[in-house]
Amino acid sequence: DVKVTQSSRYLVKRTGEKVFLECVQDMDHENMFWYRQDPGLGLRLIYFSYDVKMKEKGDIPEGYSVSREKKERFSLILESASTNQTSMYLCASSLGVGSPTDTQYFGPGTRLTVL
């Protein structure tokens, strides 16, 4: 079974703090993704990566950066957390074969609260 793990289930930070969210997958997947999920809005893509050290902006990259130094690990960084970044953050990975049936597997999520 594919396993995607995220470093924290719950996180509370203060405005202005630098925040790191870590995601690890154990299936040698090429693609990894970071989403945020807010009530009534559905999942929105922040960044994705299709290879080590490669990244692409998603729909809402402002205020975020990412790092992928190793294939299995994809980090989301909030350089200076703000209250409007309070959200559920979901990491996902996929094989990346370009097939129409390539599936994204999600981690359990990190609920981040910025005070």
Partner 1 sequence: KNQVEQSPQSLIILEGKNCTLQCNYTVSPFSNLRWYKQDTGRGPVSLTIMTFSENTKSNGRYTATLDADTKQSSLHITASQLSDSASYICVVSPISNFGNEKLTFGTGTRLTIIP
Beta bridge partners of 23: 6, 74
Instruction: Compare residues 9 and 70 and give the one whose CB is closer to partner 1.
Output: 9
Closest approach of Cβ 10 to partner 1, in Å?
10
Binding site for partner 1 (CB under 8 A): 4, 31, 33, 40-45, 48, 50, 56, 58, 90, 92, 94, 96-109, 111
Contact 34, 66 (CB under 8 A): yes
Closest approach of Cβ 80 to partner 1, in Å?
27
**AA letter at 96:** G
Instruction: Compare residues 43 and 77 and give the one whose CB is closer to partner 1.
Output: 43
Chain centroid, CA 67 distance in Å = 10
Instruction: Compare residues 17 and 58 and give the one whose CB is closer to partner 1.
Output: 58
Please, which contacts does 50-59 make with residues 24 or more away whose CB atoms are closer than 8 Å? 50/96, 58/33, 58/34
